[in-house]
Protein backbone atom coordinates (compact mmCIF):
# COMPACT_ATOMS: atom_id res chain seq x y z
CA UNK A 1 0.00 0.00 0.00
CA UNK A 2 1.28 3.47 -0.78
CA UNK A 3 0.20 6.84 0.47
CA UNK A 4 -1.52 7.60 -2.81
CA UNK A 5 -3.21 4.28 -3.38
CA UNK A 6 -7.01 4.15 -3.20
CA UNK A 7 -8.64 2.23 -0.35
CA UNK A 8 -8.37 -1.51 -0.82
CA UNK A 9 -11.15 -3.61 -2.30
CA UNK A 10 -11.71 -5.09 1.14
CA UNK A 11 -12.31 -1.66 2.59
CA UNK A 12 -14.75 -0.90 -0.21
CA UNK A 13 -16.65 -4.09 0.53
CA UNK A 14 -16.74 -3.28 4.23
CA UNK A 15 -18.00 0.18 3.42
CA UNK A 16 -20.88 -1.24 1.40
CA UNK A 17 -22.12 -3.56 4.13
CA UNK A 18 -24.94 -2.03 6.18
CA UNK A 19 -24.48 -2.29 9.96
CA UNK A 20 -27.29 -3.38 12.24
CA UNK A 21 -28.22 -0.44 14.45
CA UNK A 22 -28.30 -0.84 18.22
CA UNK A 23 -31.23 1.13 19.60
CA UNK A 24 -30.60 2.93 22.86
CA UNK A 25 -32.13 0.92 25.65
CA UNK A 26 -34.90 2.74 27.49
CA UNK A 27 -35.07 3.45 31.17
CA UNK A 28 -31.92 5.30 32.17
CA UNK A 29 -30.60 8.68 31.13
CA UNK A 30 -27.45 8.95 29.04
CA UNK A 31 -24.32 9.53 31.10
CA UNK A 32 -21.28 10.58 29.21
CA UNK A 33 -17.78 11.55 30.21
CA UNK A 34 -15.75 14.53 29.11
CA UNK A 35 -13.85 14.03 25.85
CA UNK A 36 -10.62 12.12 26.33
CA UNK A 37 -11.44 11.26 29.94
CA UNK A 38 -13.07 7.88 29.46
CA UNK A 39 -11.27 6.24 26.57
CA UNK A 40 -12.30 2.91 25.11
CA UNK A 41 -9.71 0.88 23.22
CA UNK A 42 -11.28 -1.12 20.38
CA UNK A 43 -10.09 -2.95 17.30
CA UNK A 44 -12.41 -5.02 15.21
CA UNK A 45 -9.87 -7.81 14.68
CA UNK A 46 -8.55 -9.62 17.75
CA UNK A 47 -4.95 -9.88 18.85
CA UNK A 48 -3.78 -6.52 17.53
CA UNK A 49 -2.46 -5.34 20.91
CA UNK A 50 -5.44 -3.63 22.60
CA UNK A 51 -4.67 -5.02 26.04
CA UNK A 52 -0.95 -4.30 25.80
CA UNK A 53 -1.72 -0.77 24.65
CA UNK A 54 -4.44 -0.19 27.29
CA UNK A 55 -2.12 -1.26 30.11
CA UNK A 56 0.83 0.74 28.83
CA UNK A 57 -1.22 3.86 28.12
CA UNK A 58 -2.78 3.77 31.61
CA UNK A 59 0.67 3.28 33.10
CA UNK A 60 2.16 6.14 31.06
CA UNK A 61 -0.68 8.43 32.15
CA UNK A 62 -0.15 7.46 35.79
CA UNK A 63 3.56 8.25 35.42
CA UNK A 64 2.49 11.73 34.35
CA UNK A 65 0.61 12.27 37.58
CA UNK A 66 -2.83 11.29 36.32
CA UNK A 67 -5.21 9.40 38.60
CA UNK A 68 -5.88 6.55 36.23
CA UNK A 69 -8.20 3.54 36.18
CA UNK A 70 -7.86 0.57 33.85
CA UNK A 71 -11.09 -1.35 33.24
CA UNK A 72 -11.10 -4.82 31.71
CA UNK A 73 -14.09 -4.72 29.39
CA UNK A 74 -13.22 -7.86 27.44
CA UNK A 75 -16.26 -9.86 28.46
CA UNK A 76 -15.24 -13.07 26.73
CA UNK A 77 -11.50 -13.35 27.35
CA UNK A 78 -10.52 -10.90 30.05
CA UNK A 79 -6.76 -10.91 30.58
CA UNK A 80 -5.49 -7.64 32.00
CA UNK A 81 -4.90 -9.48 35.29
CA UNK A 82 -2.81 -12.06 33.45
CA UNK A 83 -0.69 -9.50 31.59
CA UNK A 84 -0.11 -7.70 34.93
CA UNK A 85 0.48 -10.89 36.93
CA UNK A 86 -2.38 -10.12 39.34
CA UNK A 87 -4.54 -12.48 41.35
CA UNK A 88 -7.56 -10.24 41.85
CA UNK A 89 -9.73 -10.89 44.86
CA UNK A 90 -12.67 -9.31 43.08
CA UNK A 91 -13.61 -9.04 39.47
CA UNK A 92 -16.46 -7.91 37.26
CA UNK A 93 -18.27 -11.17 37.97
CA UNK A 94 -18.88 -9.97 41.55
CA UNK A 95 -20.22 -6.68 40.20
CA UNK A 96 -22.55 -8.37 37.73
CA UNK A 97 -23.88 -10.71 40.40
CA UNK A 98 -24.59 -7.70 42.62
CA UNK A 99 -22.10 -8.60 45.37
CA UNK A 100 -19.97 -5.50 44.84
CA UNK A 101 -20.28 -2.04 43.40
CA UNK A 102 -17.96 -1.13 40.55
CA UNK A 103 -16.05 1.10 42.93
CA UNK A 104 -15.49 -1.76 45.38
CA UNK A 105 -14.11 -3.94 42.59
CA UNK A 106 -11.32 -1.43 41.86
CA UNK A 107 -7.94 -2.52 43.19
CA UNK A 108 -4.68 -0.65 43.36
CA UNK A 109 -1.90 -1.82 41.10
CA UNK A 110 0.89 -0.37 43.16
CA UNK A 111 3.87 -0.98 40.85
CA UNK A 112 2.13 1.08 38.19
CA UNK A 113 0.46 3.67 40.40
CA UNK A 114 -2.97 3.10 38.88
CA UNK A 115 -6.18 1.25 39.73
CA UNK A 116 -7.56 -1.81 37.95
CA UNK A 117 -10.99 -3.36 37.66
CA UNK A 118 -10.34 -6.92 36.56
CA UNK A 119 -12.62 -8.80 34.20
CA UNK A 120 -13.57 -12.38 34.78
CA UNK A 121 -10.65 -14.38 33.52
CA UNK A 122 -9.91 -18.08 33.73
CA UNK A 123 -12.97 -20.28 33.78
CA UNK A 124 -15.65 -17.61 33.85
CA UNK A 125 -17.10 -15.58 31.03
CA UNK A 126 -19.30 -12.53 31.04
CA UNK A 127 -20.06 -12.82 27.36
CA UNK A 128 -23.78 -13.47 27.88
CA UNK A 129 -24.71 -10.49 30.03
CA UNK A 130 -27.91 -8.81 28.82
CA UNK A 131 -27.38 -5.52 26.99
CA UNK A 132 -29.48 -3.71 29.60
CA UNK A 133 -27.06 -4.83 32.33
CA UNK A 134 -24.11 -3.71 30.22
CA UNK A 135 -25.72 -0.34 29.74
CA UNK A 136 -26.01 0.09 33.50
CA UNK A 137 -22.41 -1.01 33.99
CA UNK A 138 -21.24 1.49 31.37
CA UNK A 139 -23.17 4.24 33.09
CA UNK A 140 -21.74 3.29 36.47
CA UNK A 141 -18.29 3.38 34.94
CA UNK A 142 -18.92 6.86 33.56
CA UNK A 143 -19.96 7.94 37.06
CA UNK A 144 -16.92 6.31 38.64
CA UNK A 145 -14.78 8.20 36.13
CA UNK A 146 -15.47 11.41 38.05
CA UNK A 147 -13.04 10.14 40.71
CA UNK A 148 -10.24 9.77 38.17
CA UNK A 149 -8.44 11.95 35.68
CA UNK A 150 -8.51 9.21 33.03
CA UNK A 151 -10.24 5.86 32.64
CA UNK A 152 -9.07 3.39 30.00
CA UNK A 153 -11.54 0.73 28.93
CA UNK A 154 -10.00 -2.30 27.22
CA UNK A 155 -12.71 -3.77 24.98
CA UNK A 156 -13.05 -7.22 23.49
CA UNK A 157 -12.44 -7.67 19.78
CA UNK A 158 -15.21 -7.44 17.22
CA UNK A 159 -18.21 -5.29 16.45
CA UNK A 160 -20.90 -7.23 18.32
CA UNK A 161 -23.60 -5.43 20.22
CA UNK A 162 -22.06 -6.17 23.62
CA UNK A 163 -18.78 -4.53 22.60
CA UNK A 164 -20.60 -1.54 21.11
CA UNK A 165 -22.80 -1.19 24.18
CA UNK A 166 -19.80 -0.97 26.49
CA UNK A 167 -18.04 1.39 24.09
CA UNK A 168 -20.96 3.77 24.55
CA UNK A 169 -19.68 4.59 28.03
CA UNK A 170 -16.72 6.34 26.43
CA UNK A 171 -16.65 9.60 24.56
CA UNK A 172 -13.30 8.86 23.00
CA UNK A 173 -12.57 5.59 21.22
CA UNK A 174 -9.07 4.66 20.17
CA UNK A 175 -9.25 2.09 17.39
CA UNK A 176 -6.16 -0.09 17.19
CA UNK A 177 -5.07 -1.66 13.91
CA UNK A 178 -1.92 -3.33 12.68
CA UNK A 179 -0.46 -3.00 9.17
CA UNK A 180 -2.29 -6.16 8.07
CA UNK A 181 -5.15 -5.64 5.61
CA UNK A 182 -7.55 -7.84 7.61
CA UNK A 183 -6.96 -5.79 10.73
CA UNK A 184 -7.37 -2.58 8.73
CA UNK A 185 -10.66 -3.79 7.26
CA UNK A 186 -11.99 -4.77 10.68
CA UNK A 187 -10.89 -1.45 12.19
CA UNK A 188 -12.78 0.29 9.40
CA UNK A 189 -15.87 -1.85 10.08
CA UNK A 190 -15.75 -0.88 13.75
CA UNK A 191 -15.39 2.81 12.90
CA UNK A 192 -18.24 2.59 10.42
CA UNK A 193 -20.69 0.98 12.83
CA UNK A 194 -19.72 3.35 15.64
CA UNK A 195 -20.04 6.44 13.56
CA UNK A 196 -23.41 5.38 12.14
CA UNK A 197 -24.74 4.80 15.65
CA UNK A 198 -23.10 7.81 17.27
CA UNK A 199 -21.91 10.28 14.65
CA UNK A 200 -20.33 12.65 17.22
CA UNK A 201 -17.98 10.03 18.70
CA UNK A 202 -14.38 11.17 19.03
CA UNK A 203 -12.54 8.37 17.19
CA UNK A 204 -8.76 8.22 16.99
CA UNK A 205 -6.44 5.64 15.44
CA UNK A 206 -3.39 3.79 16.75
CA UNK A 207 -1.34 1.64 14.39
CA UNK A 208 0.33 -1.04 16.52
CA UNK A 209 3.13 -3.51 15.86
CA UNK A 210 4.06 -1.57 12.77
CA UNK A 211 7.17 -2.62 10.87
CA UNK A 212 8.27 1.02 10.81
CA UNK A 213 6.89 4.44 11.55
CA UNK A 214 6.67 5.03 7.81
CA UNK A 215 4.68 1.89 7.16
CA UNK A 216 2.43 2.80 10.09
CA UNK A 217 1.77 6.17 8.51
CA UNK A 218 0.84 4.50 5.22
CA UNK A 219 -1.53 2.17 7.07
CA UNK A 220 -3.13 5.13 8.80
CA UNK A 221 -3.48 7.01 5.50
CA UNK A 222 -5.29 4.06 3.90
CA UNK A 223 -7.77 3.95 6.78
CA UNK A 224 -8.08 7.72 6.89
CA UNK A 225 -8.91 7.95 3.18
CA UNK A 226 -11.59 5.27 3.46
CA UNK A 227 -13.13 7.10 6.44
CA UNK A 228 -13.06 10.41 4.61
CA UNK A 229 -14.33 9.00 1.35
CA UNK A 230 -17.11 6.77 2.60
CA UNK A 231 -18.00 8.03 6.06
CA UNK A 232 -17.11 11.72 5.73
CA UNK A 233 -15.13 11.66 8.96
CA UNK A 234 -11.44 12.35 9.55
CA UNK A 235 -10.25 10.35 12.56
CA UNK A 236 -6.88 11.68 13.72
CA UNK A 237 -3.82 9.51 14.30
CA UNK A 238 -3.16 9.07 18.03
CA UNK A 239 0.16 7.42 17.25
CA UNK A 240 2.18 4.55 15.83
CA UNK A 241 3.71 1.83 17.99
CA UNK A 242 6.54 -0.06 16.40
CA UNK A 243 6.79 -3.85 16.39
CA UNK A 244 9.09 -4.71 19.25
CA UNK A 245 10.15 -8.12 20.56
CA UNK A 246 10.16 -6.67 24.08
CA UNK A 247 6.35 -6.55 24.09
CA UNK A 248 5.99 -10.29 23.89
CA UNK A 249 8.82 -10.79 26.38
CA UNK A 250 7.18 -8.48 28.92
CA UNK A 251 3.81 -10.18 28.50
CA UNK A 252 5.52 -13.53 29.03
CA UNK A 253 6.98 -12.20 32.28
CA UNK A 254 3.64 -10.66 33.24
CA UNK A 255 5.35 -7.34 33.83
CA UNK A 256 4.40 -4.00 32.26
CA UNK A 257 6.79 -2.82 29.59
CA UNK A 258 7.26 0.52 31.36
CA UNK A 259 8.75 -1.40 34.29
CA UNK A 260 10.71 -4.10 32.51
CA UNK A 261 11.79 -2.35 29.30
CA UNK A 262 11.00 1.37 29.60
CA UNK A 263 13.57 2.35 26.99
CA UNK A 264 12.23 -0.03 24.32
CA UNK A 265 10.78 1.40 21.11
CA UNK A 266 7.24 0.23 21.85
CA UNK A 267 7.36 1.70 25.37
CA UNK A 268 8.60 5.05 24.08
CA UNK A 269 5.95 5.09 21.36
CA UNK A 270 3.16 4.64 23.91
CA UNK A 271 4.73 7.29 26.17
CA UNK A 272 4.57 9.68 23.22
CA UNK A 273 0.89 8.84 22.68
CA UNK A 274 0.17 9.58 26.36
CA UNK A 275 2.06 12.84 26.09
CA UNK A 276 0.03 13.94 23.07
CA UNK A 277 -3.22 12.86 24.69
CA UNK A 278 -2.56 15.11 27.64
CA UNK A 279 -1.58 17.96 25.39
CA UNK A 280 -4.89 17.93 23.46
Ligand X SMILES: Nc1ncnc2c1ncn2[C@@H]1O[C@H](COP(=O)(O)OP(=O)(O)OP(=O)(O)O)[C@@H](O)[C@H]1O
Binding residues vs ligand X (CB under 6 A): 43, 46-52, 74, 77, 157, 208-209, 241, 243-244, 247-248, 251, 266
- C-alpha 106/C-alpha 101 separation (Å) is 9
Query: Could you tell me which of 49, 68, 60 has the C-alpha nearest to residue 268?
Result: 60
- C-alpha 259/C-alpha 250 separation (Å) is 9
Which residues have a Cβ under 8 Å from the Cβ of 248 and sit 6 or more positions away? Answer: none
Number of C-beta neighbours around residue 249 at 10 A: 14
Residues in the interface with Mg ion (CB under 5 A) total 2
The region of 17-25, 44-52, 189-197, 243-251 touching Mg ion under the rule CB under 5 A is: 44-52
Choice between 83 and 261, CB closer to Mg ion: 83
Task: Choose the contact partner of 48 out of Mg ion, ligand X, none; CB within 5 to 8 A by kind.
Answer: ligand X
Do 95 and 78 meet the contact criterion of CB atoms below 8 Å apart?
no
Task: Choose the contact partner of 220 out of Mg ion, ligand X, none; CB within 5 to 8 A by kind.
Answer: none
Task: Choose the contact partner of 43 out of Mg ion, ligand X, none; CB within 5 to 8 A by kind.
Answer: ligand X
Choice between 64 and 246, CB closer to ligand X: 246
Task: Choose the contact partner of 46 out of ligand X, Mg ion, none; CB within 5 to 8 A by kind.
Answer: ligand X
Single out the residue of 14, 42, 49, 51 in contact with Mg ion (rule: CB under 5 A): 51
CB of 120 to ligand X, least distance (A): 14
Query: Could you tell me which of 185, 184, 156, 180 has the C-alpha nearest to residue 54?
Result: 156
CB of 74 to ligand X, least distance (A): 5
Choice between 144 and 257, CB closer to ligand X: 257
Task: Choose the contact partner of 47 out of ligand X, Mg ion, none; CB within 5 to 8 A by kind.
Answer: ligand X
CB crowding 160-184: b at 16 or more within 10 Å, else e: eebbbbbbbbbbbbbbbbbbebebb
CB of 51 to ligand X, least distance (A): 3
Do 151 and 39 meet the contact criterion of CB atoms below 8 Å apart?
yes
CB of 278 to ligand X, least distance (A): 21
Task: Choose the contact partner of 194 out of Mg ion, ligand X, none; CB within 5 to 8 A by kind.
Answer: none
Which residues have a Cβ under 8 Å from the Cβ of 21 and sit 6 or more positions away? Answer: 196, 197
Do 186 and 44 meet the contact criterion of CB atoms below 8 Å apart?
yes
Q: Does the footprint of Mg ion cover residue 83 (CB under 5 A)?
A: no
Choice between 47 and 124, CB closer to ligand X: 47
Query: Could you tell me which of 247, 177, 204, 190 has the C-alpha nearest to residue 19?
Result: 190
Which residues have a Cβ under 8 Å from the Cβ of 172 and sit 6 or more positions away? Answer: 35, 36, 37, 38, 39, 40, 201, 202, 203, 204
Task: Choose the contact partner of 244 out of Mg ion, ligand X, none; CB within 5 to 8 A by kind.
Answer: ligand X
Choice between 11 and 159, CB closer to Mg ion: 159
Chain positions contacting Mg ion, by CB under 5 A: 50-51
Amino acid sequence: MTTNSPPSAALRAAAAAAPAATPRLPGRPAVSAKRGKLIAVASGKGGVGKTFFSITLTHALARRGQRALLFDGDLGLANIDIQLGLMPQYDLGSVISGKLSLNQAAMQYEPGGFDVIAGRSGSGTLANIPLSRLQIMGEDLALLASRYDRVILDLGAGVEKSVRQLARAADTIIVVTSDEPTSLTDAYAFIKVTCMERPQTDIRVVVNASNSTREGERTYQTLFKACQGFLKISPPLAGIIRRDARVRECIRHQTPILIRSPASEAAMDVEAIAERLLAT
